[in-house]
Structure 1
Amino acid sequence: MKLQFTIIIVFISIFINAQTNDIKFGKVSMEEVGQKEHNLDKEAGAAFLFKKERLVYDYNPSKGFNYSRKVHYRIKVYKKSGLSWSTITVPLYNNGALSQKIYGIEGLTYNVQGNEIVKDKLKKDGVFTQNINKYEDKVSITMPNVKEGSVIDIEYEIASDFVGFIAPFVIQYGIPVNQVDIKVEIPEYFNFKKNVRGFYPIQIGEVTEKKKIDFQYRQERDTKALFGGGEQSEGIRRGDLVYFETDYNITAINIPAFKEEQYTDNIENYRSAIVFELESTKFPSEGYRMYSQTWGDVANVIYKYDDFGGELSKNKVFRKEIDVLISKYADKAELAASIYNFVKEKIVWDGYYGYGCDNGFEKTLEEQKGNVADINLMLTAMLRYAGFEANPVLVSTKKHGIPLFPTTNGFNYVIAAIENNGDYILLDATNNMLTVNELPNRAINWYGRLVREDGSSVSIDLSPKKSSSKTIFMNVKLQEDGLVNGNMRTSLTDNLAYVYRDANSIKNIEEIKDEKSELLTYTEILNLEVKNLNVPGLPMVETISFENENGLERIGEKIYVDPMLFLAIKENPFKMEKREYPIDFVFPRTEKINISLKIPEGYKVEYLPENLAIGLPEGRGIYNFIMKENGNIIQLVSSYEIKYAMFSPNYYTAVKEFYNQIVQKQSEKIILTKI
């Protein structure tokens, strides 16, 4: 069986290589352009017909090694939903001394016109570079004249000085991939570990070859060439570099789309990919050097950076302001809250991430603006100065993903924490609507790394432990002519309140009212009031009065009523047969809806939906639906609780069925009949 398996793998590799050798940039067939749907996924809006990447290291005697990464994508657009693939984005990184640059961008869009293939060439105005922060730019490549049926051919090359960092080779996307052909050539001086991410099986071929690079260099006085030798002529020497190189070949065909649905932290964490991690280097003039570390090592290294630990020791710039607060608040909790509020109100976040300060404390206070690190490291330093055991916590945001192995690139954010008798109080001062122990959704990403001044560090859970609640009271009057009017009071706490405040704090009441009206089908909001909108820490309370002219369905002598009106969950957010990645509710939550329905005069209740009580395994969630009649009033209580922020894929079937029953129950109608 083992021999047979090997033969099959070899045959597949030969078959793929034979196919990929025929695929050249700019050579698109009528069959590709004329294809109406994907042969294996009829619902696909687009597909990668081909993805090719080549990563090759090069040596320059004056600069050392760098590498180039050449990319060729061929994408077919089948439907309107696939038009978003007309734009490809490429991240580029730099740290001042080292950088990445993009070259040789070429693009062609192919369409059928009559019986011919016509092509549109990518122009300069289709390429746009956006600065994300001082370490990252994003290049957007937007192809011309892309429509349903188009085939897109894109080619570009990235030159990188970051010889120890290789961005992941993604194999699986939200659309099918017909063929993948990736080759990575790594000199013997770099030892990388290969990590396979995701659930789709990936085969990696590996061979070792001898390489030789010929080069010229200028001989400087009292120096010797690092590699090779040769003839000298007028100060110019010719040398050669002979070394062994490991070539990794990754080939695959017919990779299915990796579907995303609701309650997902970052889908990129789970797509199949190959990740190369630099473990060590061994250069002739430097010897063996290890890079693969523990997370504790990484945290300790980061702490020693000038723009991290170096800034934390600078407290002269804020002593006067904090001394005033220290003299004013004797209670430690009040003092910590006052320092936290001081930073939130004083400094505006500029939108940039990073665990290193861009401005530094002095400039941040002067300009009253800074990046995440400027704000939260200064908050940490202020708390320390005031006598708290405060330390920074390194975080990877949801968008940045879950770091698979210990590297400084694994983090891109930092918050503050106060250690309090074995517990941690988490603080993020980048948003004025946050309060103590509240983090923005972007930062609630599994675990962070708290790092102390003495070099020790510890992993801490970033998930909120306290359940956020939504409580709704609604009084509704039903009228025989189909008119429904009522009022509703909604109270939100903790993270649910923050989400509302973050979305609405800068809007006026009319703007909030208009946006809410658009969300409520056939319902007009007559009046809206909001309390505590700009007061973090207190429950956020919204009160509305509303009217719906089509709220009832009349058939003969009977009236059919949706008892939950616009509050019902209309469809199950979980639709897949099987889910291989976690369910992320972000934070634990409870919701309780109390509805009082007054039925029209001259009618009686013929049917009420039955009560329901269901739960998730191990008490992870519960749902109750209780309805009863009291004279001409129908009382309904619908309540559910999700007790954990994160569920493993093992619970997917149970969670899906849990929501199926909720949707079904909330869709049942009350039947009223004329007396």
Structure 2
Amino acid sequence: MKTLFIHIFLFTVVSASAQSYNSLLIPDTLSKNANVVCRYNELRIEIKEPGKAKIYRKNVNTILNEAGDRYSFFFTQYDKFNDINDIDGTLYDAMGKQLKNVKKKDIEDLSGNDDISLMVDTRFKAHSFYYRSYPYTVEYEEEKILNGVFDLPDWYPQQSNTMGVQYCKLVVVTPKDLDIRYKQFNYPGTPVITEEKDQKVYTWELKNLPAKVSEQYQPSWREILPSVIVAPTSFEIQGYKGEMSSWENFGMFINSLLKGRDIMPDAIKQKVHELTDGITDKKEKVKVLYNFLQQNTRYISVQLGIGGWQPFDANYVYTKRYGDCKALSNYMVALLKEAGINANYVLIKAGDDAEDIITDFPSNQFNHATVCVPINKDTMWLECTSQTVSAGYQGNFTGNRHALLIDDKGGHIISTTVYKASDNTQIRRITSAIDETGKLTAAIDTHYTCLQQDELHGKINHLSKDKLLESLKKDIDLPDYDVTSFNYDEKKSEKPAIDEQLQLIANNYASVSGKRIFVTPDILNRNTIKLKTEDQRKYDIDYPSSFTDKDTVSIKIPDGYNIESMPKDVIINNKFGDYEIHFKVDADNINCTRLYRRSEGRFPPSDYTELAKFYDSMYKADRSRIVFIKKEG
């Protein structure tokens, strides 16, 4: 009887588990438009004291198709501040039947070193069941100990718009006398706060979140999907204590990590004076010392222990001739200080696509350090990890966002450089000819500035001539073409520019039909698209990156041909920008001038129809054609 009871009990437990992860039980409202459904998500943060916390995660995802496979992987990092106590993973089939289970010892262990890292103590645990019979379910549990409560994990219950969510919760447990701060995004209501003995418990819960359909030029998903970020008021890490109740306090902690790290040997001090003592203009001094840094150091990531936040000292960089962003920025500040120039160490969230920091929530939101040099009413920025970027230029990497400037009084939120449409230009002149077979021969001169030269700057400074040519032969939107010659001239400044000269031949560029030749005069800037029709637009229009494109195209009329028809001029001016295209006959040539100036901005959903019409008009105008007809006789 006892044995029978045990068998019945085990059968009941297994059956209940299988039933709970049975994919047939997922409501249609959650699988619609979804690649994955999160069946259960729990993040539990237990803060024991300012220097110690325990993190527990449980995540159960049902993968519906191949596009959802990326949500089946387990990946976590650990170092001296993050100890992994336990990991458990389980794979279930479509009916919720358990197929496989793995423990911590079965999880692959990976080094955090990469091509730009010399020394890091970060390692990773990674795992995949590599199962591809859809739908299937993966369950992972993880427990970590944080030795230092400086960074707490954020809660993103709906990790993308293609994820439906059945149930998720965040629980934060703290001692009653330890304050935490939190900020909610798109969360209905407030957390449930309870007290248990000497602890305070905060709980957030969400259920039945459907997947969302993306819209063109919508705001980032961070603005749309629910999330909660949590940060301590007081913290401790590797013996360093700090507060982040304000940016001033946070900056004081960072400043304490910088203290005494600007001391340099006499040899480098003498070099600074040798380079700058004869220069009276402060900006020129900055440029000279920045050039010295670029020529004598290189970027290598070195992150050991507190070194993930504290820079190696200036003498280390001078001796080794390398450093990470923190060490190089600290070294640059020290060089400038020796020359009598005040400069500031700055924390920032860098990256071409990085989202701006949340300025009203002091916390560690940064991934990069750079340098700010106040000069009169101007500000000069120095990107110390690059050996090629111009002094004073930030580009898409750190421009147009907020940052935290560090000084003796703490931290201060500041704005970085905003690049306008008049800064980000692409001015192109094309002199071309079409023969009777439709072959195009063209000489192309293009002047790129600021954000419009960023990608090209990277290529010409990091690719060989052969690789550059290979790139040119792939990147131009023309059929069957060959680049016969090319040249670049880079002009460094706070608003850098690149001049490009190309010679190319494109076979069959023009369409030949009987006695007619059809030519699209907008040769290289037909990058406009048609926007999808959206009858019920939900989200604001987030229209990014102002710029100006201007093309002047001269097309020689083919010998033996006349003009049969030309497109009409088009002029459009609205809140999204300006577009003009004009056509004019000049002796044996047709000249086409095209101007497109885009205006960055945030617009209500009701403006989308106007934006779509604007794109449709540009799309048609960019593809309008000139028709040449063969002369009679």
TM-score by length of 2: 0.82
Structure-2 residue corresponding to 1:168:
154
How far apart are the structure 1 equivalents of 2:123 and 2:624? 49
Secondary structure of residue in 2 paired with 1:430: coil
Contact (CA 8 Å) 1:122, 1:143: kept in 2 or not?
no
Render the CA deviation track for 1:71-121: whole Å, top value 9, x for unaligned.
213131324x444434344355x5x5x434363141426479xxx979466
Given candidates 123, 128, 135, the residue that maps to 1:143 is: 128
How far apart are the structure 1 equivalents of 2:133 and 2:514? 47
Structure-2 residue corresponding to 1:595:
553
Given candidates 295, 318, 330, the residue that maps to 2:247 is: 295
How far apart are the structure 2 equivalents of 1:191 and 1:23? 40
Contact (CA 8 Å) 1:564, 1:595: kept in 2 or not?
yes
Which runs of 5 or more residues in structure 2 are unaligned? Answer: 1-13, 236-240
Q: 472-481 or 533-542, which moves further after superposition?
A: 533-542
CA RMSD of aligned residues (A): 3.8
| Structure 1 residue 182, shift from structure 2 partner | 0.9
* TM-aligned CA distance change 1:671 to 1:158, over 3 Å: farther
1:225-624 equivalences under 5 Å are 242-257=197-212, 259=214, 268=222, 271-279=225-233, 291=243, 293-305=245-257, 308-312=258-262, 314=264, 316=266, 318-351=268-301, 356-398=309-351, 399=354, 401-444=356-399, 446-455=401-410, 457=412, 459-464=414-419, 467-520=423-476, 521-533=478-490, 539-572=497-530, 577-580=537-540, 582-585=542-545, 588-617=546-575, 621-624=577-580
Q: Which amino acid aligns with 1:569?
A: N
Contact (CA 8 Å) 2:166, 2:209: kept in 1 or not?
yes
* TM-aligned CA distance change 1:512 to 1:667, over 3 Å: same
| Structure 1 residue 509, shift from structure 2 partner | 1.8
Contact (CA 8 Å) 1:30, 1:117: kept in 2 or not?
no
Structure-2 residue corresponding to 1:284:
none
Secondary structure of residue in 2 paired with 1:409: coil
Contact (CA 8 Å) 1:474, 1:489: kept in 2 or not?
yes
Contact (CA 8 Å) 1:530, 1:542: kept in 2 or not?
yes
Q: Which amino acid aligns with 1:182?
A: K
| Structure 1 residue 51, shift from structure 2 partner | 3.4
* TM-aligned CA distance change 1:519 to 1:31, over 3 Å: same
How far apart are the structure 2 equivalents of 1:310 and 1:395? 22
Render the CA deviation track for 1:556-578: whole Å, top value 9, x for unaligned.
44332222234211425788744
* TM-aligned CA distance change 1:350 to 1:376, over 3 Å: same
* TM-aligned CA distance change 1:373 to 1:670, over 3 Å: same
Secondary structure of residue in 2 paired with 1:515: helix
Secondary structure of residue in 2 paired with 1:85: helix
1:115-126 equivalences under 5 Å are 119=99, 124=106
Identical counterparts, % of pairs: 14
* TM-aligned CA distance change 1:318 to 1:147, over 3 Å: same
| Structure 1 residue 194, shift from structure 2 partner | 3.2
How far apart are the structure 2 equivalents of 1:125 and 1:302? 36
Contact (CA 8 Å) 2:473, 2:483: kept in 1 or not?
no
| Structure 1 residue 184, shift from structure 2 partner | 0.4
Contact (CA 8 Å) 1:628, 1:636: kept in 2 or not?
yes
Determine which structure has greater relative contact order: mean sequence separation of CA pairs < 8 Å that are 6+ residues apart, divided by chain length: 2
Structure-2 residue corresponding to 1:29:
22
| Structure 1 residue 625, shift from structure 2 partner | 1.3
* TM-aligned CA distance change 1:104 to 1:626, over 3 Å: same
Render the CA deviation track for 1:603-652: whole Å, top value 9, x for unaligned.
333332222222342xx7322211222344211111222355xx224487
1:196 and 2:187 are equivalent in the alignment: no
| Structure 1 residue 495, shift from structure 2 partner | 3.5
Contact (CA 8 Å) 1:393, 1:449: kept in 2 or not?
yes
How far apart are the structure 2 equivalents of 1:580 and 1:89? 34
Q: Which amino acid aligns with 1:598?
A: K
1:98-113 equivalences under 5 Å are 98-101=81-84, 103-108=86-91, 110=93
Q: 534-543 or 359-368, which moves further after superposition?
A: 534-543
1:14-53 equivalences under 5 Å are 24=17, 28-29=21-22, 31=24, 44=34, 46-53=35-42
1:57 and 2:10 are equivalent in the alignment: no
Secondary structure of residue in 1 paired with 2:462: coil
* TM-aligned CA distance change 1:205 to 1:22, over 3 Å: farther
Secondary structure of residue in 2 paired with 1:248: strand
How far apart are the structure 2 equivalents of 1:636 and 1:72? 58
How far apart are the structure 2 equivalents of 1:196 and 1:22? 38
Render the CA deviation track for 1:304-337: whole Å, top value 9, x for unaligned.
22xx243235575620210111234344332221
How far apart are the structure 1 equivalents of 2:154 and 2:411? 30
Secondary structure of residue in 2 paired with 1:304: helix
* TM-aligned CA distance change 1:85 to 1:456, over 3 Å: closer
Which runs of 5 or more residues in structure 1 are unaligned? Answer: 1-20, 211-241, 282-288
Secondary structure of residue in 2 paired with 1:532: strand
* TM-aligned CA distance change 1:165 to 1:330, over 3 Å: closer
How far apart are the structure 1 equivalents of 2:74 and 2:565? 55
How far apart are the structure 2 equivalents of 1:201 and 1:323? 57
Secondary structure of residue in 1 paired with 2:312: coil
* TM-aligned CA distance change 1:450 to 1:208, over 3 Å: closer
